[in-house]
Amino acid sequence: MNIITMLGRVIWLLAAALALTAAVLATLWFLGRPAREVQGIWETEGYGLVFDISPFTIRILQVGPASCTIWKTMPAHRGMAKRFAGYGFSAVGAGSVMQISAADVTNPITATRLDALPAQCTEGKPAGPVENFDIFWHAFDQHYPHFETQGIDWDARRDEALTELGDPPDRDPRTLAAVMRHALDGITDPQVSLDTPDGTYRPARGIEEEVPAWVEKARAALPVIDSYLDPEPQNTETGGFRHAWIDGEIAYLGLHHMETQAALSGTQADEAAALAALMAETYADAKGVIVDLRFNPGGAETVALEYARLFASEARIVAQKSVVTGPDSLSPPTPIRIRPTEASFGAIPTVVLTSAHTGGAAELFTLAVRDEPQVTVMGEETAGALSDLLTRTLPNGFSVTLPHQVYATAEGTPIGLTPLAPDLSVADGNGNAGDAVLEAAIDVLE
């Protein structure tokens, strides 16, 4: 056999292998395509999103009454959408409604079918200062739930802003940023923020420094807390635990955020369950447990609920939440449930430490465990910032973040911006002289 014949056979074999690979990939792609009944254009109730699902691509658009921008684009493959973006889709009833599941979100997202994309997605125009302000204004008008409780007339704020921008409007981005900041005056909600070239502005605190003051306070507190721990604390690589023994009898679990680094094939909640089991095993012989949430700004609700299962004695509803679906409009409440787990601390006496820096999902954790008979919440009131967040990016590059959900207790009492009060109030005592809150928790458990 001459070399030319051999090369010909090798090339033929390679071509056959490539053709077989392509056929296999095409088959896998075909099998993973979104079902026919979920293909089409869907508008979510709340969230301000439109899903455009074709046999080949999935586009997610951020849509408001005066705006439409492409937020995400991904291949139309169920497995890839689930693994890399966390989305699952299922049609309901006759196919006019779709339920969207999102990884690490405790409530399903409901969407209704549209015949075509909204007009603002097909009839775009250049966005100047007024258009950018209107997108900003509509984001709050459509999704923000707390104007009334803060005594803010949002319609009047738009009229004031248009006057400040002038006619013709001032095109300096700094002017627009100042007008937006002025529109947010009086909002005490710590979750509201505006990002511009000037930095991150929170109406509750002003322009944030490069390192926020609460972070500096947390850093200063760590050496003081460490002086009570023996041996030195350990940090979990994939989660927010900083843990150690106190006097060889009390487990100290410092939780600095409610996020985890999920494995490629899993969710944040899966990793949180593994970390919770590790804590339960490591401190199985503890006579008491301290969970320190004083510098925990929140994170994923599903992570907080997995950690809360460490202390759950029975399956129950711990809260309810509704999504803002428009001005003065809410979705039906979704119950947030918790159930016990085998890896738990059982009836071991537990103290949960809170402060004004305990926010978001850390507040949900507190809400989930505070009625357990072995749990005492101690310290200061929480931040009053219990909600998932919605972020909108404006055409000029500014972005705004706001809460878009309303929480209530299991009994249905609205929580709103109300901080969660501790069972035992102890003033923040972090400083060189010691940690008064931590010492009070130790006294309760000894």
Say whether 213-391+400-445 and 36-113 share the same fold: no
Q: Domain limits of the chain?
A: 36-113, 129-207, 213-391+400-445
Q: What is the largest CA-CA distance in the chain?
A: 91
How far apart (Å, rounded) are the C-alpha atoms in residues 425 and 157?
A: 38
How far apart (Å, rounded) are the C-alpha atoms in residues 216 and 109?
A: 37
Q: In Å, what is the CA distance from 244 to each residue of 23, 225, 233, 257, 276?
A: 55, 11, 5, 17, 14
What pLDDT, in 10s, does the model give residues 149-198?
A: 999 999 999 999 999 999 999 999 999 999 999 999 999 999 999 999 98
DSSP output for 29-64: HHHHSPPGGG-EEEEESSTTEEEEE-SSEEEEEEEE
How far apart (Å, rounded) are the C-alpha atoms in residues 203 and 195?
A: 12
* Domain 36-113 class in CATH: mainly beta
Nearest to 108, CA basis, from 269, 332, 300? 332
Q: What b-and-e string marks burial along 168-181, b requiring 16 or more CB atoms within 10 Å of the CB?
A: ebeeebeebbbbbb
Region 213-391+400-445: CATH code: 3.90.226.10
More confident residue, 45 or 33: 45
Strands 399-403 and 334-338: unpaired
The strand ranges marked E within 210-333 are: 234-235, 241-246, 250-255, 288-292, 316-326, 329-330
What order do you get walking across the sheet with 199-202 strand by strand? 206-207, 199-202, 193-196, 399-403, 389-393
Q: Identify the band that residue 91 occupies on the pLDDT scale cut at 50, 70 and 90.
A: confident
User: Please, what is the average pLDDT of the chain?
Assistant: 90
Q: Which residue has the tokens 């997202």?
A: 109
Q: Identify the band that residue 282 occupies on the pLDDT scale cut at 50, 70 and 90.
A: very high
With both helix axes pointing from N to C terminus, report the angle between 154-165 and 173-183 in degrees, rounded to the nearest 10: 160
Find all residues with CB under 8 Å of 98, minimum gap 6, and list them: 38, 42, 51, 89, 90, 91, 92, 110, 111, 112, 113
How far apart (Å, rounded) are the C-alpha atoms in residues 446 and 250?
A: 8
pLDDT at residue number 430 = 55
Q: Would you say residue 122 has pLDDT above 90? A: no
Q: In Å, what is the CA distance from 429 to each residue of 265, 436, 443?
A: 43, 5, 15
How far apart (Å, rounded) are the C-alpha atoms in residues 369 and 377?
A: 9
Q: Identify the band that residue 141 occupies on the pLDDT scale cut at 50, 70 and 90.
A: very high
DSSP state of 309: G
How far apart (Å, rounded) are the C-alpha atoms in residues 104 and 258?
A: 11
What would the two tokens of residue 172 be? 């300096």
Q: Would you say residue 17 has pLDDT above 80? A: no
Across residues 310-327, what is the average pLDDT?
A: 96
What pLDDT, in 10s, does the model give residues 366-400?
A: 999 999 999 999 999 999 999 999 999 999 999 99
pLDDT at residue number 81 = 78
What pLDDT, in 10s, does the model give residues 216-255?
A: 999 999 999 999 999 899 999 999 999 999 999 999 999 9
Find all residues with CB under 8 Å of 28, minimum gap 6, and list them: none
Cα dihedral 55, 57, 58, 60 sign = negative
pTM equals 0.88
More confident residue, 22 or 359: 359
DSSP output for 85-113: I-EEEEEETTTTEEEEEETT-SS-EEEEE
Chain centroid to CA 330: 19
pLDDT at residue number 358 = 97
